[in-house]
Amino acid sequence: MEAQDVQEDLSHVLLSTEEVQATIAELAAKVDEDYAGKNPLIVAVLKGAIMVVADLTRAMSSHVDVDFMAVSSYGSGTKSSGVVRIVKDLDTDLTGRHVLIVEDIIDSGLTLSWLKANLESRNPASVEICTFLRKPDAMKVDIDVKYVGRDIPNEFVVGYGLDYAEKYRNLDCVGTLAPHVYS
C-alpha cells in the first residue's frame, strides 16, 4: 500500500519508502558489525516489528536466528495502557545466547523495559535493543537502546508495520495518522 492509497487518512508522510529502507540498511550494518561471529537471536516483537525484522535480517550479511514474541499494552487505542500481557512467548531457550530485541517503535518505553527485564531473567549472554523508531518526548522510563533508526516527534504514526486498529501495517512508508481517523 502506498501513501496515495490512504492520503485522506494521513496528515503527512514522515518517512518515505526510500528513507525507511535507508534507515533499515544503516541499522543492519551496525548490527552486523557488532554481532559478527556471534549468531544472535533476533527477537521480533509482534506484530509491528515484522516488517522491520524481515527487512533488517535480509539486509544483514551474517547468520542470525529469529524468534517471535507478542506482548500487548495497547488494545485498539492510541496510547499505551501500561499493562503488559504476553500473547505469544518465545520458543527458543535464551541461555547463553546474544539476544537482540527488535521493535518497530518505542513510545513510553514501559512495555520494552518490562520485556527486557523478562528476557534478562532467562540467563542470556546479553540482551540489547534495536528499534526502527523512537519518540523521545513520549518516554516515561529510561531504557538503554543500542540501535535507534530514527527519533521522531510524539505523533501517532502508522505504516511499515505500525498500525491503528490493525490497519495501515502494509503502508510502505511512515505517516502521521490524521486525527479524524481516531477521534
Is the pLDDT assigned to residue 74 strictly greater than 70?
Answer: no
Q: Domains of the chain (ranges plus CATH)?
A: 18-155 (3.40.50.2020)
Least confident of 69-78, 94-103, 129-138, 170-179: 69-78
Q: What is the pLDDT of residue 72?
A: 77
Residues taking part in catalysis: 107
pTM greater than 0.85: yes
Residue type, 132: F
pLDDT digits (tens, 9 = 90+) for 121-130: 999 999 999 9
Cell of 147: 540501535
For residues 145-173, average pLDDT:
96
Give yes or no for residue 67 having a pLDDT over 60: yes
pLDDT digit string, tens, across residues 77-87: 555 556 788 89
Q: What is the 3-state secondary structure (H, E, C) of the chain?
A: CCHHHHHHHEEEEEECHHHHHHHHHHHHHHHHHHCCCCCCEEEEEECCCHHHHHHHHHHCCCCCEEEEEEEECCCCCCCCCCCCEEEECCCCCCCCCEEEEEEEEECCCHHHHHHHHHHHCCCCCEEEEEEEEECHHHCCCCCCCCEEEEECCCCCEEECCECECCECCCCCCEEEECHHHHC
**What does the alpha-carbon distance between residue 144 and residue 139 come to, in Å, rounded to a whole number?**
12
